[in-house]
Amino acid sequence: MTKYKKRKKLFLTFHCLTHSPSIRTPQMNLLLLLFLPIWLLSISLSSPILHAASSISVSQSSANAQAESPGIQEVKIVHHQNLNKRFIIPLVACSALLGGVFLFLLYVWFRRHKILRCSSSESQETIEAAKGETLSSVNAKLNYSRMADKKSSVAIFDYQLLESATNSFSTSNIMGESGSRTVYRARFDEHFQAAVKKADSDADREFENEVSWLSKIRHQNIIKLMGYCIHGESRFLVYELMENGSLQTQLHGPTRGSSLTWYLRLRIAVDVARALEYLHEHSNPPVVHRDLRSSNVLLDSNFNAKLSDFGFAMVSGMQHKNMKMSGTLGYVAPEYISHGKLTDKSDVYAFGVVLLELLTGKKPMENMSSHQFQSLVSWAMPQLTDRSKLPSILDPVIKNTMDLKHLYQVAAVAVLCVQAEPSYRPLITDVLHSLIPLVPVELGGSLRVTEPISSDNSR
């Protein structure tokens, strides 16, 4: 009677498992189907009918044993034990197999659940990024540096935080303007300042390209992207603050290059060459900047130079026919203008123009009249190759402040960089190796100067 009660209890348990809405999941259904044969088999083995049959067999064997031989009873009992083993061994093996299947399915279920949860959180982060509301003001200030140091990862800044740090994007905080882009100084607190570049949605492609490249590139002479924000039709990029602005502002702004000594100008040239060498030779894949100009060379408080604005950067050798022409008049290589041909030598040409700006203090394109412009390259080339005329084209700020041998070397490098034929231009690595010996050790070069560098030179 007790066995019948136990069996009834098992049936009730099975009924609850198969009819409870909270338990009836696809995974639970599969497990019930797997374990049902084992359950039925275990009931059949514990059935009274089987035991009755077994007892009859044993009693009959005992009776026959008395008539025939005393040893037959033992043989019959052993035969019955072997019969039980036939059921028990497959049952154990089947249970072990199904247990392994159960563990595997459990692992797959947990794995799938984890992936779905991660996908859901990423989707939510993307939606929040579009609203500019992913990080709170506190988290942005605390986590930006940690996130920026992660490869292929940058922080997402809250729009209200940027608005507060720039005093509602006040004109008093404007550091520079170029086309539809404006750069603001952002003061988050007394320990954290940054530069915020604001652009419209019509520059979405450049915005995405810059975030993509600068989130992966790490170099001492390439600007550090700290984060970004998308708010309505506006796009914001948050960079490390470069206190002395752009090289363009220093050379062609109100100060007219008065802060830039000969050695500082050479150090700036070396810094830019190092950035390009990293992009061309050490980046994987190699990168062509495509928009090198003095306004994209930024200077920190010590006049260390860093290359910025990677909106047009591309993988070297991946140019296609429908690619939009980019670059700034005066810096664009002749072969790019005439044939659309773009290589790392295009960056070398633009570097040569920047080097001429550092030497002469002149803009890459000068107004000759209301409808005429003259490029710095075409104006300077005849005089760069004539040593007697070379000193006359120098920026007055640095005139008579350098060793003439060094001046001739720098002029020769500039002439090679701006050659019309790309194959005549040197690799940026060769340019770098030519300039490093002209920069004092104190400023990152290898030149040993006999006289101590003044405080102006070492800033």
Instruction: Just list the catalytic residues.
Output: 291
- Dist CA 428 CA 449 (whole Å): 25
Q: What is the CA radius of gyration of the chain?
A: 39
Q: CA angle at residue 368 from 376 to 292, to 5 degrees?
A: 30
CA-wise closest residue to 235 among 188, 212, 209, 202: 202
Three-class secondary structure of residue 112 per DSSP:
helix
- Cβ atoms of 148 and 155 closer than 8 Å: yes
Instruction: Count Cβ atoms below 10 Å from residue 226 Cβ, excluding itself.
Output: 23
Alpha helices in 132-203 (DSSP H): 137-148, 159-165
- Cβ atoms of 300 and 294 closer than 8 Å: no
Please report where in the chains the tokens 């030598």 appear, as a residue. 345
- Dist CA 306 CA 241 (whole Å): 11
Instruction: Count Cβ atoms below 10 Å from residue 93 Cβ, excluding itself.
Output: 10
Two structure tokens written together for 4: 């019948």
- Cβ atoms of 326 and 350 closer than 8 Å: no
Residue 282 DSSP class: I
- The DSSP string of 33-78 is HHHHHHHHHHHHHT-HHHHHHHHHHHHHHHHHHHHS-TTHHHHHHH
Q: CA angle at residue 302 from 182 to 279, to 5 degrees?
A: 65
